[in-house]
Amino acid sequence: MYFRYLGRELRRRARSAALVAIGLALGVGLVITVTSYAAGVKAAQGQVLSSLYGVGTDLTVTKPPTAGTGGPFRFSGTPSSSAQAGQSFAQDNLTSAGGLTTIPASDVSSISNLKGVAGATGALALSSVHITGTFTGGFGPGASATPTPTPTPTPAPTTTASASPSASGSGFGISTFSVDGIDPTEPGLGLLSGPNIASGASVVQKWFSDVQSGGSSDQTLALVSSAYAKQNSLKAGSTITISSTSSSTSFTVLGVVSVTETDGADIYIPLSEAQSLTGDTNDVNTIYVTADTANDISTVQAEIQKALPSVTVTSASNEASNISGSLSTASNLANSLGLGLSIAVLLAAFVLAVLLTIASVTRRVREFGTLKAIGWHSRRIVGQVMGEALVQGIIGGAVGIGLGVAGAFLVTKISGPLTATVGATGLGSSAPSGFGGGGGFGGGGGGFFGGASPGAFSSAPAGFARTFATSNHSVTLHMTAPLSLEVFGVAAGLAIVGAIIAGAIGGWRAARLQPAVALRRVE
């Protein structure tokens, strides 16, 4: 009787029952999709972090750029006042990547001596900028020159400049690449540690042992990234020259390496060579640290911070918040919008379920009054109403699981590959960098001279550095949206809870009904 009555009633108001079930199904489906998407994003973040910082790395120690110093790019060779129109110039800069302040190499050993630290290695991440150009006009006496590189062919000197290297005629060119100086005595740590190498593991191993064995020629062996090698037609045996303002060294390419899903650096050279190129013989700018156990990470982090108050110690979990790019958008989407949306839909479904259940009870006042008159207890009637709601919830939950699976599948199809960038924040805000005494390279941050107005050498935040960082630490990966039984259970449970709430409210109204009132009603 119970189920026959229940089933018939639901069939009678099939449309409203379907509406409730669909509403709940949508809510459940969204919860599943969003949860699995968020799980996928989280997994992706983990993947990014491990690929950027090395599976063997628990903590990364850097020192942020200080205002006014160590901008991402410093054109220290201010054109002299004797520069002639038509004279060409070339300038090499090798600076700390992202304007990171250097850390004394001795800190590496003091960190490795800390309790709980399994190992630490220093590295020097550098950015090389090569600029060529032609002066188009003479420098007026006493002019504080603010040269304007204008990408358009029109000579467009700015108001304050009486002379500018400009794009007119021969043009103005910049080429950049990134260099990592790596400590060859610690092959198990940092960016080139085993798990991070996508291809070229054997050549990396050979590089480490060759450089370690320490012949003077071995010290000038370099590894290049596969992307950089392709771009510049480099192969084993090729020679590359890395220059700073003060010195220049030629390296022999030992082989090509590709780091897991990252672009990594373009060129890897021994730390000592990197140090002598920049003149910072005893400095590094990144220290990779591993802890004895995962549980120690936060303790070690605190200890390093205590020992070296001026450095920034980041753990993989800290770093998650620094990830930008579409991965971070995805993460924000999953966390805020997705969650908000699924809560909103679920709530709407709950409200719909409650309203339609109340409507059904109200329409059946006479029916329930009759049942009470023939001796049905209120609890039996409540049970009937609850049962009807529950069936809607179960159907909604089941359909919702199907929708959720489909949604999760669609999301991975639609979202396509994600990109992630680590470390861009903070770099873009680095101090105004000098160029002939002027400001840093301008631009909306979109790239070189992007949207540059006349007088583009403004002191705008260097969009330049950002581009650098991006090219250094950017990852592309494919989204997954893992599904779990647990999520199914929770989501379907939500639908059932919603149905029970609706049924309870409807049942409560049915229970309160006076049979006499119900029977007087004439329809």
- Residues engaged in binding ligand ATP (CB under 6 A): 517, 520
Q: For residue 94, what are the β-bridge partners?
A: 128
50 alpha-carbon distance from chain centroid: 12
CB within 8 Å of 2: residues ≥ 6 apart: 383, 384, 387
Place of tokens 């491990």: 50
Nearest residue to the partner ligand ATP, using Cβ: 520
Q: List the Cα angle 459/460/462 in 5-degree steps.
A: 105
Closest to ligand ATP by CB, 350 vs 368, is 368
Contact letters for another protein, residues 169-198 (x by CB under 8 A):
------------------------------
Query: For another protein, which residue of 3, 4, 159, 237 counts as binding (CB under 8 A)?
Result: 4
Contact between 12 and another protein by CB under 8 A: the answer reads yes
Contact between 14 and another protein by CB under 8 A: the answer reads no
Binding range to another protein, per CB under 8 A, among 75-83, 230-238, 287-295, 511-519: 511-519
3-state secondary structure of 291: strand
| Torsion angle (degrees, nearest 10) of CA 190, 194, 199, 203 | 90
Cβ atoms 389, 359 nearer than 8 A: no
**Cα 21 from Cα 4, distance rounded (Å):** 19
> In terms of Cα–Cα distance, which of 352, 288, 331 is closest to 117?
288
Site for another protein in 370-389 (CB under 8 A): 370-378, 380
Contact between 18 and another protein by CB under 8 A: the answer reads no
Contact between 413 and another protein by CB under 8 A: the answer reads no
Closest to another protein by CB, 366 vs 509, is 366
Cβ atoms 324, 425 nearer than 8 A: yes
**Tokens representing residue 164 in the block:** 């500018």
**Cα 138 from Cα 85, distance rounded (Å):** 5
H-helix or E-strand containing 123? strand 117-134
Cβ atoms 98, 279 nearer than 8 A: no
Smallest separation (angstroms) from another protein to the CB of 522: 7
CB within 8 Å of 381: residues ≥ 6 apart: 368, 371, 372, 507, 510, 511
Closest to ligand ATP by CB, 343 vs 519, is 519
Smallest separation (angstroms) from another protein to the CB of 336: 45
Residue 173: what are its φ and ψ, rounded to 5°? -125, 150
Residue 213: what are its φ and ψ, rounded to 5°? -65, -25
Closest to another protein by CB, 5 vs 202, is 5
Query: Choosing among ligand ATP, another protein, none, which partner's interface includes residue 380 (Cβ < 5 to 8 Å by kind)?
Result: another protein
Query: Choosing among ligand ATP, another protein, none, which partner's interface includes residue 372 (Cβ < 5 to 8 Å by kind)?
Result: another protein
Residue 383: what are its φ and ψ, rounded to 5°? -60, -40
Smallest separation (angstroms) from ligand ATP to the CB of 17: 32
Binding range to another protein, per CB under 8 A, among 364-372, 430-438, 443-451, 476-484: 364-372
Closest to ligand ATP by CB, 486 vs 523, is 523
Closest to another protein by CB, 235 vs 377, is 377
Smallest separation (angstroms) from ligand ATP to the CB of 517: 6
Contact between 359 and another protein by CB under 8 A: the answer reads no
Closest to another protein by CB, 14 vs 485, is 14
Contact between 3 and another protein by CB under 8 A: the answer reads no
Contact between 81 and another protein by CB under 8 A: the answer reads no
Cβ atoms 256, 226 nearer than 8 A: yes
- For helices 339-363 and 378-415, angle between their N-to-C axes, nearest 10 degrees: 150
Contact between 9 and another protein by CB under 8 A: the answer reads yes
Query: Choosing among ligand ATP, another protein, none, which partner's interface includes residue 9 (Cβ < 5 to 8 Å by kind)?
Result: another protein
Q: Is the dihedral of CA 73, 265, 279, 288 positive or negative?
A: positive
Query: Choosing among another protein, ligand ATP, none, which partner's interface includes residue 294 (Cβ < 5 to 8 Å by kind)?
Result: none
Chain contacts with another protein (rule: CB under 8 A): 1, 4-5, 8-9, 11-12, 366-367, 369-378, 380, 514-516, 519-520, 522-523
